[in-house]
Amino acid sequence: IIASGATGWAPNKQTYYTADSMLGNWTRGVEKDDVNENTWYNNMPEGADGLLSVGDTRGTTFGSQSASVLAVDQEKGHFIYLGDRWDSGKADSTYVWLPLTIGENGTIEMHNPAQEGEPDGWDLSYWGNHGSAKGKLVNWTVETGDDLPKTVNTGGTVTLPDTVNVKEGDDTIATKVTWNVEGGTAVSKSTKAAGNTYAFNVPGTYTITGTLAESSNFNPGRTFRRTIDVSCSNPISGSWKEAHWKGGSACQVSASGGAYDFTITDNANRGVWTDRNEGSAVYQPDALDVNETLETTVKPLDLGGNGDPRAGLVVRNGLTGANGGKGYATLLASPSGVYMQYDSNADGYIDKETSHVGTGFGDQVQLKLERTSTDTLKGYWRASANDEWQDVATVTLTGADVTGLDAGAFATSNSNAGAFTVAFNGTAFGSQTAAVESIAAKGPEATIAKRQTLAHKDVTVTATLTNGKTRVLEPDEYTLEGFDTTKLGEQTVTVRLVTDSSVTATLTVTVESNLARLFCSSAAASKYEPASSWASASTADLTCDNNLSTNWSNWGTGDTSPWLSYTFDKAYQLGKLSVAVDKAKGEAAPKSFTVSYLAEDNATWTDATLPAVTVNGAAGAVTEADVSALPATKGIRLNFTYADGNDYAKIAEVRIAEGEATPKPQPSSNANLADLTVDGKTVDGFSADITEYAGALAGDAASYPTVEATAADAKATVQVEQASTENSGVATVTVTAEDGTAETYTVTFGELPQLAELAVEATKDSYQVGDKFNAADVKVSAIYKVGDTETLRKLIDPTDGDLKFTGFDSATAGTKTITVSYRGVNATFEVTVTATEVTPGPGEQKPGDTNNPGNTAKPGNTATNKPAANGAAPLSNTGVAVAAIAVVVVVLTAAAGALLVIRKRRA
């Protein structure tokens, strides 16, 4: 919906509202709750969301009021605005037809083609040349991000990109862009600056307009706008002052060793001459003594449309006010040259001018003033530091102070066309560039709130130079050491010179606990007295500015429930709070107050149920209240009751001190071990600060030892990863402290030994046919290794069940190979089996009885073989089955019988 302000016959600014549907929630423009959502339509600034016209400098919707809107191609976003142009002397109106486009993020923009280079009218091709959609319109937004800062310091530069990322629907497309920069001056590439670099020298808020090239979805010509705020981040301070006799601003850019760079912007004015003093100055009071010099380099930044702007140096008895000062002279550079002007009759106005020399300030020019006597001033100029100084003129001062004159840099737009901005670089008094001999420091006039930093702006450091002169040092020329913002009470801070650390001074700083001051930006009030022609607004933050001479007041607001509140970044335990009333006379001191605090939801104010506190209404009196019984809270509100007969209140200062809350225990960071054991025994050389250990393994270890650990802190956790083949035999102990701090201990065992081979030593290597094998006759040693290194050689007990012998056969004579097996490892050795010789005679041996030769059993008796020596079981003839053994026994028995028969026959 496009809406007019309906101001009768007068054209006015017009706005528009958008919604998802006719019954939806309507928003001015497209951004919900932006700063101009509820601004009176006629006060909406250029570029504001919801302002219909683009470039409408008169704020009249190009001299019309809305009549209707025509849809030309709704899908592509082509619309025409019809506006009434009423002539109050006629009975009808004429119409103006202007194109509407859909801009960034869906904004509606009305353009005047006559301002865009089409003075003879426009047609339907307009949209194709001004960024219309090629097909169906999609929402688009430019992502400028850090490429385009929102703020820049006076004198700073901004380099704009050649391409920007444009989000078109779901796609992001890199698109070329050209720029139109308001308030910026293009920096020449000869200065080694990148292209599209602009300097911003004049404070203010400016609009930067980008025009997009063609993309896959849009024709060329889409425009988008961004604003940039140019302001001074380092205002004039210290020994320098500023004066603006008809408006203007100044900024300190840098300082080094007594030389300063400034910028001065002087508002449009008529300059300085016989009946007027209009200009701007940055100066030092009482600084130009006899034989003192002052020099600077003048570099014009923005002439502001002035034909004869002037900039240079100025001296006068006093420069604070515009008029009335004597001892008045200037040394100025202008487009027409360099010259001096002065007051010849001591009436406080310039009335004389010397001859012009040089060619004017051009890109820049250097100027110097020298006070050669009480009443004599000499001016010099040169093009650069490489040139010799040249005389400009010598003038006589009238009514000049015998002591130092106010002196400094000066600029005047003079032609009354616009603001004139100048850079004054290397501005310095000759005596102030001498070396520093000693320093003296003056501390903050007020206390510092706990947790608040001690800033350089709170301290003044004055240097005494080797020539006896003094100057105030800049913050980057000294350091502040020894300040502890958490320590309450007085403390001594050391000030140290950067260029010579042996040069120091001290100052005393007092730290107080005051949450109101620490979070003063959150101060709020039920109502406050607005600004007037005689006073600034009496806002809530005046109660926490550490200045008893300023007050919050709700005078004239009709406030029936007055209160002040302060909110914090987190919940604090509180101690005492105090309320100070008007310092001058105790005006409008409230009768009493009660206290509320923010509940745990941080949104609900809860009555503290403390008795109402009666306020001491004497001038500057302070009333205290103990709020230590309250729970920790993120906010305090004071609810006031007016004094009898009063309908407003005044409060000068509120202090809210932290209480002595029991500090919350901090989680322990102890991640040390108290003990580290291997198989229950503390490792050799254990110490909590040693984290790596070497573990020992038995030469035939089949598994890793068990590692256990005990944390030094009971709240720490211990996790042990035992050594294994998978982790190369490294046991890892991880100790995690209560606060998450972790420490790792390791015990490295390395690889487990492996049974690599067997060593065999046979003590009996000869057997007879029929003998049994005895394992006790063989010494077998197991050899363990890690890699190629032997770790252990151990004799195996013959009774070990894992020890096996195979391959022995005493049934026949010959060389026999016996295989020894032990836990998967084999070895072999050889023995010899020989045939048994039969010798007849008494005690004849039985055939086959190899265990007891010569022993003949009596009839009816059975021969019994004794067990093998050392308890070893005899080895059966390997390779012969049980059945086969039985057959052999039968055969042998039959043979014996045969022998007996034969012998009987022979007898």
pLDDT, tens only, 623-665: 999 999 999 999 999 999 999 999 999 999 999 999 875 566 7
Q: Which long-range contacts (CB under 8 A, 24 or more apart) does 489-495 make?
A: 493/443, 493/454, 495/439, 495/441, 495/459, 495/461
Residue 907 CB neighbours (<10 A): 5
CA-CA distance, 142 to 164, in Å (whole number)?
A: 7
Where in the chain is CATH 2.60.40.3630? Answer: 754-893
| pLDDT at residue number 842 | 53
pTM of the shown model:
0.56
The Cα–Cα gap between 671 and 688 comes to 9
What whole-number distance in Å separates Cα of residue 715 and Cα of residue 667? 9
- Class of domain 241-433 as given by CATH: mainly beta
Q: What is the mean pLDDT of the chain?
A: 87
Q: What is the pLDDT of residue 838?
A: 61
- Amino acid residing at 587: E
Other C-beta atoms within 10 Å of 237: how many? Answer: 15
Strand-pairing partners, residue 66, are 83
* All CATH 2.60.120.200 domain ranges in the chain, comma separated: 241-433
The secondary structure of residue 683, as a DSSP letter, is P
Query: How far is it, in rounded angstroms, from Cα 302 to Cα 798?
Result: 109
CA distance 96 to 80: 10
The Cα–Cα gap between 310 and 339 comes to 10
Q: Does domain 436-512 have CATH number 2.20.25?
A: no
- b/e burial code for range 620-649 (CB count within 10 A of at least 16 → b): bbebebebeebeebbbbbbbbbbbeeeebb
Rounded to whole angstroms, how far apart are CA atoms 5 and 407?
Answer: 53
Q: Which residue ranges in the chain fall short of pLDDT 70?
A: 6-9, 86-91, 188-195, 661-664, 838-907
User: What pLDDT, on the 0 to 100 scale, is given for residue 441?
Assistant: 96
Please give the C-alpha separations between residue 415 and each of 264, 274, 334, 362, in angstroms, as whole numbers.
Answer: 16, 16, 12, 18
Q: Is CATH 2.60.40.3630 the right assignment for the domain spanning 754-893? A: yes
> Could you tell me whether strands 337-342 and 653-658 are parallel, antiparallel, or unpaired per DSSP bridges?
unpaired
pLDDT at residue 193 in the model: 52
How far, in Å, CA of 429 to CA of 751, rounded?
Answer: 80
- Collapsing DSSP states into helix, strand and coil, what is residue 817? strand
Which CATH number applies to 149-231?
A: 2.60.40
Contact 792, 888 (CB under 8 A): no
Partners of residue 598 on adjacent β-strands: 605
For β-strands 825-834 and 766-768, DSSP reports them as: parallel
CA-based Rg of the chain, rounded to a whole angstrom?
52
Which residue carries 């958490």 as its tokens? 486
CATH 2.60.120.260 fits 515-658, yes or no: yes
For residues 657 and 634, what is the distance between their CA atoms, to the nearest angstrom? Answer: 13
Q: Give the residue range(s) of CATH 2.60.120.260 domains in the chain.
A: 515-658
